[in-house]
Structure 1
Amino acid sequence: MTFVDTEDWTLQAKCRGMQDKLFPHGADQKRARAVCMACAVRSQCLAEALDNRIEWGVWGGMTERERRQLLRQRTDISSWQSVLCGKPKGK
């Protein structure tokens, strides 16, 4: 993924400007996830977190724990961007 591609989807994110609120603890994670549910770039966001093994925060509607579990279950996937967004990583 190029810088321009990353910049494009992040500008469309529903959570834009809310970074601190996307790193909640406990019950507050549910509120953060709710922001993601209606976001137009949810798949790109989740792919970014999974491909780059981002360990903190809510990304694409998934918590750190949920992403770690998914990565453990699906070790066969080398590009989440390809799976979730339909385009090869780096394109």
Structure 2
Amino acid sequence: MPINVILPTDSEPSWRESALCAQTGPEFFFPEPGSSTREAKQLCGACDMRAACLEYALTHDERFGVWGGLSEKERYTLRRARS
């Protein structure tokens, strides 16, 4: 009998389960336009999953919210620098 292995999908990466953001609401990381991202970035700075989160956001071209401690504009700048 074959064993079924469930692998994480791109829509639900395994790092998200251990990330500090899993303990907060999404509005924290997707603030209204013009609102501060400081608190979200502070939480990201203390998270062990920050690098995986940022890489996911860059790979999947996430254009909104704070991912891996960076805002949309900061990720855009990083993408351009990598090119």
TM-score bin, normalised by smaller chain: 0.7 to 0.9
Give the aligned partner of residue 27 of structure 2: 20
Of Structure 1 and Structure 2, the greater helix share is in 1
Q: In angstroms, what is the RMSD of aligned CA positions? A: 2.0
Give the aligned partner of residue 78 of structure 2: 70
Q: What pairs up with 1:12-51 in 2 under 5 angstroms?
A: 12-16=18-22, 17-24=24-31, 25-51=33-59
When the two structures are superposed, what TM-score results if normalisation uses the length of structure 2?
A: 0.78
May I ask how many residue pairs the two structures share in their alignment? Answer: 74
| Segments ≥4 residues shifted beyond 4 Å | none
Distance 1:26 1:59 in 2: 17
Distance 1:22 1:48 in 2: 15
What are the ranges of 5 or more consecutive residues in structure 1 without an aligned counterpart? 76-91
Give the aligned partner of residue 11 of structure 1: 17
Distance 2:49 2:15 in 1: 6
Deviation at 1:27, TM superposition (A): 4.7
When the two structures are superposed, what TM-score results if normalisation uses the length of structure 1?
A: 0.72
Deviation at 1:26, TM superposition (A): 3.3
Q: Find the structure with the greater CA-based Rg.
A: 2
